[in-house]
Structure 1
Amino acid sequence: MINILGQIMLYVNNQDESLKFWTEKAGFILISEADDGQGMKWFEIAPTKDAQTRIVLHNKDLVAKMSPGVNLETPSILFFSDNLDQLYKDYSDKNITVGELVNVPEGRVFNFADNEDNYFAVVEKKYPL
């Protein structure tokens, strides 16, 4: 039985720049980092230190060489925010590319792009659910 979604693997072209984006602009924190000394390194990030699901930034080219069958496409991720207006303003003020705030059946939502033009969405939702 699966109990929780633990990590989302995000394959990026530039790990250091992606780490900067997620921590300095998007407000995530660095949970851990690893480097095997042979070129394989990764960064584990999350919106809070106690978040149960975390994102791991991996080097896309290296993963492609090591595991040719892995799907390296960006996953479609939907984040939750209990203060969507403030988050939208914060992201806009930090020059993050944001889409319009729109209403969908789940509530109000907007999308944003990371430093590599991967798009993600945020919906207004109180947490815990």
Structure 2
Amino acid sequence: MISQIGQVMLYVNNQDESKNFWTEKLGFEVIAEEVNGPMKWIEVAPKGAATSIVLHNKELVAQMNPGMNLGTPSIMYFTENIDELYNDLKTKNVTVGDIVELPSGRVFNFADHEENYFAVMGK
């Protein structure tokens, strides 16, 4: 039986810039950074999170696995203080959408430096 989501693979054009985005703008921690031949992966996550993001080189993965779906996964993050996070990201010049009221809560989206969009919901 599956008990949890362990990792989300995010295929990016520049792994080091992506690592900087997730750690400097979002405050994630680097869990692991490994190189195995031409493959390099960087695992990042919020402190204490059960699920992490693994940053993979999109071009290299495409060469190794032609036809693989390398699109951005649709990820919804949760935050305890949506207004504080929203203002912090704006201050750090992160592209953010408007905060929207949904029946399930307040939500906004944000983009990384490669224009991959993600969502955040206040919980």
Q: Report the TM-score range of the alignment, normalised by the length of the smaller protein.
A: over 0.9
| Structure 1: 5+ residue stretches without partners | none
TM-score normalised by L of structure 2: 0.97
Spell out, residue by residue over 1:48-91, the C-alpha distance to the aligned partner (whole angstroms, 9 max, x if none). Answer: 1x211000000000001111132100000000001001000110
1:98 maps to 2:96: yes
Q: Equivalent residue of 1:42, what SS? A: strand
Q: Find the counterpart in structure 2 of residue 109 from structure 1.
A: 107
Distance 1:68 1:82 in 2: 40
Paired residues, number: 123
Query: What is the identity, as a one-letter code, of the residue corresponding to 1:53?
Result: T
Q: Equivalent residue of 2:30, what SS? A: strand
Q: Find the counterpart in structure 2 of residue 41 from structure 1.
A: 40
Q: Find the counterpart in structure 2 of residue 30 from structure 1.
A: 30
| Structure 2: 5+ residue stretches without partners | none
Query: What is the identity, as a one-letter code, of the residue corresponding to 2:70?
Result: L
Query: What is the identity, as a one-letter code, of the residue corresponding to 2:39?
Result: M
Give the alignment of 1:84-95 within 5 angstroms. 84-95=82-93
1:75 maps to 2:73: yes
Select the structure that is richer in strand: 2
TM-score normalised by L of structure 1: 0.93
Runs of 4+ in 1 over 2 A off after TM superposition: none
Query: What is the identity, as a one-letter code, of the residue corresponding to 2:44?
Result: I
**Root-mean-square deviation (CA), in Å?**
0.7
Kindly state the Cα deviation for residue 26 of structure 1 after the two structures are TM-superposed: 1.4
Q: Find the counterpart in structure 2 of residue 65 from structure 1.
A: 63
Q: Equivalent residue of 1:91, what SS? A: helix
Distance 1:79 1:10 in 2: 15
Spell out, residue by residue over 1:71-129, the C-alpha distance to the aligned partner (whole angstroms, 9 max, x if none). Answer: 1000000000010010001100000000001101210010000010011000001xxxx
Percent sequence identity is 63
Spell out, residue by residue over 1:33-61, the C-alpha distance to the aligned partner (whole angstroms, 9 max, x if none). Answer: 1101x22100000011x211000000000
Query: What is the identity, as a one-letter code, of the residue corresponding to 2:4?
Result: I
Query: What is the identity, as a one-letter code, of the residue corresponding to 1:43?
Result: I
